[in-house]
């Protein structure tokens, strides 16, 4: 198996496997501990922050550190990666939030539960209204709501996959894929996908879907991670400049996920100092992963 397909396989296990495990836990236990999820999200955010700032960005700048223009290229690509994910999420939020009853003017300007982050609450509300006989909700609108949820999940998972792919693209170690930063990052992302999988499967089962079908659908929501890895790795292996662009875009997109989604949401889910402490632990673990 060549390098590209090995990266795809590892990312598939992290994305589909991690989300699938979460989906299976969700259909078996039908509940989701917000405190545990909050700690997992903030811990993962800390690890990702360490990887982005201490590894990906330094590697991107190192492709041509003597050139001021190159440094501004890296900065521009970081802003572009952040801005693209932010803009697409903002468009989805603007279209869907007014249709969810509990999201009003008093609601925080960011998601305070995973179901909001991936818009499964929007899908479930449409489904409940249709099943209750609301003639305003058609099967077509329910399909669109499901499509929106899929896009929201893709926007969350694509950057994670790009980080895995771009990290493998910069690695000089190809003899053992289990000794690279990319593999360790894939493990962290796989663990982070478990609570996300739970947040998808629980409402599906609660809405009457069969357990096996709900678990399979949940696992498939991890596929965008694979597509992100393919993009990040393919772009990163073209040339030093394309590697810098790949690393910078992935970094910017991941910074949005960390600061715009994971950390605010984890704090809203558990209003205490615990999420901040978990982030610090994640940051320390990230440093250990990178330098020990």
Q: What is the DSSP string of 237-265?
A: TT-HHHHHHHHHHHHHHHHHIIIIIIHHH
CA–CA dist 253, 182 (Å, integer): 17
CA torsion through residues 258, 263, 265, 269, sign: positive
Structure tokens belonging to residue 141: 């609108």
Cα distance between residue 253 and residue 83, in whole Å: 8
Distance, CA of 283 to CA of 116 (rounded, Å): 26
Measured CA to CA, the distance from residue 224 to residue 219 in angstroms comes to 11
Distance, in Å, from the CA atom of 8 to the CA atom of 17, rounded to the nearest integer, reads 13
The reported pLDDT for the residue numbered 157 is 87
Number of structural domains (the chain) is 1
Residue range(s) defining the domain that contains residue 217: 3-291
The pLDDT averaged over each successive group of 10 residues in the chain (292 residues) is 84 93 83 76 89 91 88 96 91 84 80 75 75 66 74 82 88 59 83 80 73 86 92 90 92 91 86 92 88 79
Q: Which two tokens stand for residue 77?
A: 């690509």
Q: Indicate whether this model's pTM tops 0.85.
A: no
């Amino acid at each position: 198996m060549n390098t590209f397909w090995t990266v795809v396989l590892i990312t598939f296990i992290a994305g589909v496997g991690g989300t699938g495990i979460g989906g299976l836990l969700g259909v078996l236990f039908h509940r989701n501990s917000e405190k545990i999820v909050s700690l997992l999200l903030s811990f993962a955010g800390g690890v990702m922050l360490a990887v982005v700032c201490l590894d990906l960005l330094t590697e991107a700048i190192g492709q041509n550190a003597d050139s001021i223009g190159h440094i501004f290229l890296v900065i521009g690509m970081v802003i572009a990666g952040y801005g693209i994910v932010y803009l697409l999420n903002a468009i989805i939020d603007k279209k869907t939030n007014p249709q969810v009853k509990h999201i009003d003017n008093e609601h925080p300007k960011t998601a305070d539960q995973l179901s909001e982050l991936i818009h499964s609450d929007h899908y479930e509300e449409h489904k409940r209204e249709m099943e209750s006989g609301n003639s305003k909700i058609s099967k077509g609108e329910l399909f669109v709501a499901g499509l929106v949820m899929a896009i929201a999940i893709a926007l969350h998972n694509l950057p994670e996959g790009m980080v895995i792919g771009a990290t493998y693209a910069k690695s000089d170690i190809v003899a053992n894929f289990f000794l690279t930063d990319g593999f360790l990052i894939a493990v962290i992302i796989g663990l982070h996908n478990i609570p996300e999988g739970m947040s998808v499967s629980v409402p599906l089962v609660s809405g009457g879907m069969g357990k096996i079908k709900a678990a399979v659908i949940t696992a498939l929501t991890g596929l965008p991670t694979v597509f992100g890895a393919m993009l990040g790795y393919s772009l990163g292996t073209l040339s030093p400049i394309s590697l810098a662009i790949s690393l910078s875009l992935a970094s910017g997109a991941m910074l949005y996920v960390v600061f715009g989604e994971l950390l605010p949401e984890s704090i809203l889910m558990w209003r205490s100092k615990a999420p901040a402490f978990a982030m610090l632990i994640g940051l320390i673990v990230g440093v250990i992963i990178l330098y020990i």
